[in-house]
Structure 1
Amino acid sequence: MGPFEMVVLIVAISVGAGVYQTYLKTRANSRADEATQSDVATMRDEISRLKERVRNLETIVTDKDRALAEEIRKLA
């Protein structure tokens, strides 16, 4: 094996290792993106539930006649 062939072999191995490393990073990032999307969906659901609770609390607090509060007391 001559010096030229050795240089070509070293360059080929280096390029191949770089391509493989990039492939592994891309694969790991796609899995992280899926997990992130799952977290975002969970947070959106939680935010919508919290908004509904706030609406209910606002209804209770702003009820001028306190009729709703009276109904709640009757149920207890």
Structure 2
Amino acid sequence: MFEIDSPFTMVVLIVLIAVGAGVIKNWIKTRGDREADEETQAEIFRLRKDVERLTERVRVLETIATDKDERLREEIRRLA
């Protein structure tokens, strides 16, 4: 049916091997990316919490810096 020595058969085999290797490579890369995505999502969640916390701290510092002396003294007393 097919002769292994024919150039057409060799070309077809080379193309099939190359395409198969590409598919396997993409499958492995996609599987690895899923694991990295879970780690990335956890890191993004942690960073968002840090940003929220820091935003609140900046808000307090802005209030302290812009309020009159009386309110500043009262705020410092409450914090101490």
Give your verdict on TM over 0.5.
yes
Is 1:18 aligned with 2:22? yes
TM-score by length of 2: 0.66
TM-score by length of 1: 0.68
Q: 1:70 to 1:37 in 2, by over 3 A?
A: same
**Preserved CA contact (<8 Å) 1:60 1:66:** no
CA distance in 1, matches of 2:74, 2:24: 69
Counterpart in the other structure of 1:40: 44
Q: 1:19 to 1:43 in 2, by over 3 A?
A: same
Gap regions ≥5 residues in structure 1: none
Aligned residues: 76
Gap regions ≥5 residues in structure 2: none
